[in-house]
């Protein structure tokens, strides 16, 4: 078992979940409708909990304690895709990101449920139900807004256009694609991306939206290697502010 | 501007008089009654309401409002307008019921009889 390969996989998943969970939690108190505010915040908690489970596996493999790992690293040591660190914008962007990210996440965990790496397979099986709801929530909103008023349709299409290349960046290949495939740990980013595309297209169509023209596709890469927008450093400092005040405090 | 100690609220620079989304009278979707079931086979219990524009979203919201803590296996949502209820003015139809203790099951001491039978027939 190639531990370095597994750690690379775990880090990018955990960082994605931690950062998108944090971004989604920034909607708490500001959501458009009370029930939706509660639902979105609750899902953000779920995401951070899932990140926690992955950080725990990393800790078992010799990495730092989960809290330290999550809150002490600066942006250049984070492996999230740039997509998840972008500011929330308005609800249109946040919902579209929720839709694009959660579908990919659900499929990734589905693929990992059969992984030969037991701890990860177990986490994947456990959170299946959570992801089912997250995706159902995203599908419902995207389809409703895409079929709503002129304004909601236009906003959703713009959000899709702006998100697209960042979303493709979620599938940036790691250094150990072959090792993970050969060891039956993970089938790979390319496979995941194809399945993601197949899954989201029916909903995009139901929402009367269009995926950007293939000629304009240009995945925004770098996040997995620690290259981020300025937004991430601001985020990690704010997110880690309380923890960093006293990293050795007992909570 | 709303001044908040929470930086996430402060940076939104929200106007006190909320010109972005002013509330209008009756500016809510219709309500749905939410029932949840703790264990398959149990009765669904009424837990509250959600506001939603249609059945699907009522289920979506109901799951989080009332199913995010504790144990649930199932949620029902029913439009409040579909609940057919009696009138409070007619509450007098229930008035004499507390006097009718002969209708209570407590009068039938079934467990006593069962236990007596079991004791007498022990060893069979």
Backbone angles phi, psi at A232, to 5 degrees: -70, -40
For domain A3-245, give the fold. Ferritin (1.20.1260)
Chain A residue whose CA is closest to B52: A35
Which whole-number Å values give the CA distances from A236 to A64, B8, B36, in the listed order? 17, 14, 39
Q: Do B65 and A137 touch (CB under 8 A)?
A: no
Q: Does A121 touch chain B (CB under 8 A)?
A: no
Predicted structure pTM score: 0.89
Q: Which residue has the tokens 């919201």?
A: B61
- Residue count (chain A): 251
How many angstroms separate the CA of residue B57 from the nearest CA in chain A?
A: 8
Query: Hey, where are the domains in chain B?
Result: 28-120
pLDDT in tens, A182-208: 999 999 999 999 999 999 999 999 999
Q: Which residues of chain A have pLDDT under 70?
A: none
Percent of chain A with pLDDT over 70: 100
Per-residue confidence (pLDDT) for residue B124, from 0 to 100: 59
Per-residue confidence (pLDDT) for residue B2, from 0 to 100: 78
Q: What is the pLDDT along chain B (124 residues), one digit of tens a residue?
A: 778 887 777 887 877 776 666 666 667 889 999 999 999 999 999 999 999 999 999 999 999 999 999 899 999 999 999 999 999 999 999 999 989 888 887 767 788 888 999 999 986 5
C-alpha of A85 from chain center: 10
Name chain A contacts of B6, Cβ cutoff 8 Å. 29
Q: Do A35 and B50 touch (CB under 8 A)?
A: yes
Name chain B contacts of A28, Cβ cutoff 8 Å. 8
Answer whether A106's CB lies under 8 Å from A135's CB: yes
Q: Does A133 touch chain B (CB under 8 A)?
A: yes
Question: Which of B55, B56, B64 to probe the A interface (max A CBs under 10 A)?
Answer: B64
The token duo for B106 is 């407590």
Beta strands in chain B (DSSP E): 31-37, 45-51, 74-79
Per-residue confidence (pLDDT) for residue B88, from 0 to 100: 94
pLDDT in tens, B78-96: 999 999 999 999 999 999 9
Q: Does B75 touch chain A (CB under 8 A)?
A: no
Chain A residue whose CA is closest to B31: A35
Per-residue confidence (pLDDT) for residue B14, from 0 to 100: 77
Name chain B contacts of A35, Cβ cutoff 8 Å. 50-52, 61, 64-65
Task: Label residue A250 left, alpha or beta by phi (over 0 means left) and psi (-120 to 50 means alpha).
Answer: beta
CA pair distance A72, A239, nearest whole angstrom? 10
B3 bridge partner residues: none
* A-proximal residues of B, 26-55, CB under 8 Å: 50-52
Per-residue confidence (pLDDT) for residue A238, from 0 to 100: 93
Question: Which of B10, B61, B73, B77 to probe the A interface (max A CBs under 10 A)?
Answer: B61
Q: A with B: how many residue pairs have Cβ under 8 Å apart?
A: 37
- Residue A144's closest CA among A197, A90, A87, A209? A209
What's domain B28-120's architecture? Roll (3.10)
How many angstroms separate the CA of residue B84 from the nearest CA in chain A?
A: 25
Question: Average pLDDT, whole number, for chain A?
Answer: 96
Q: Does B8 touch chain A (CB under 8 A)?
A: yes
Q: Do B51 and A34 touch (CB under 8 A)?
A: yes
Q: Do A35 and B64 touch (CB under 8 A)?
A: yes
């Amino acid at each position: 078992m190639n531990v370095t390969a597994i750690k690379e996989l775990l880090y990018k998943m955990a960082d994605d979940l931690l950062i998108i969970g944090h971004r989604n939690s920034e909607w708490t108190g500001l959501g458009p409708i009370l029930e939706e505010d509660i639902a979105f915040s609750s899902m953000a908690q779920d995401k951070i909990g899932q990140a926690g489970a992955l950080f725990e596996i990393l800790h078992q493999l010799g990495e730092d304690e989960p809290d330290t790992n999550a809150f002490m690293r600066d942006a250049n040591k984070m492996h999230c895709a740039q997509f998840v660190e972008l500011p929330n914008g308005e609800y249109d962007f946040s919902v579209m990101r929720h839709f694009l990210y959660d579908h990919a996440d659900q499929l990734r965990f589905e693929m990992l449920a059969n992984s030969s790496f037991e701890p990860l397979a177990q986490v994947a099986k456990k959170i299946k139900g959570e992801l089912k709801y997250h995706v159902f929530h995203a599908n419902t909103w995207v389809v409703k807004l895409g079929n709503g008023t002129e304004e909601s349709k236009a906003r959703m299409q713009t959000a899709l256009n702006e998100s697209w290349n960042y979303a493709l960046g979620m599938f940036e290949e790691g250094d150990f694609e072959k090792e993970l495939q050969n060891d039956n740990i993970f089938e790979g980013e390319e496979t995941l991306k194809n399945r993601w595309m197949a899954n989201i297209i029916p909903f995009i169509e139901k929402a009367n939206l269009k995926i950007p023209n293939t000629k304009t596709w240009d995945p925004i890469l770098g996040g997995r290697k620690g290259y981020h927008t300025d937004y991430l450093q601001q985020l990690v400092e704010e997110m880690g502010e309380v923890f960093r005040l006293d990293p050795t405090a007992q909570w | 501007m709303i001044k908040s100690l929470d930086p996430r609220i402060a940076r939104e620079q929200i106007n006190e008089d909320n010109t972005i989304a002013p509330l209008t009278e009756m500016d809510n979707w219709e309500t749905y009654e939410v029932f949840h079931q703790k264990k398959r086979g149990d009765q669904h219990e009424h837990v509250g309401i959600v506001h939603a524009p249609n059945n699907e979203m009522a289920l979506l919201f109901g799951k989080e409002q009332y199913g995010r803590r504790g144990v649930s296996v199932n949620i029902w949502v029913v439009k409040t307008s579909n609940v057919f209820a009696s009138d409070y003015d007619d509450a007098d139809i229930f008035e004499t019921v507390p006097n009718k203790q002969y209708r209570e099951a407590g009068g039938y001491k079934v467990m006593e009889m069962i236990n007596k039978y079991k004791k007498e027939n022990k060893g069979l």
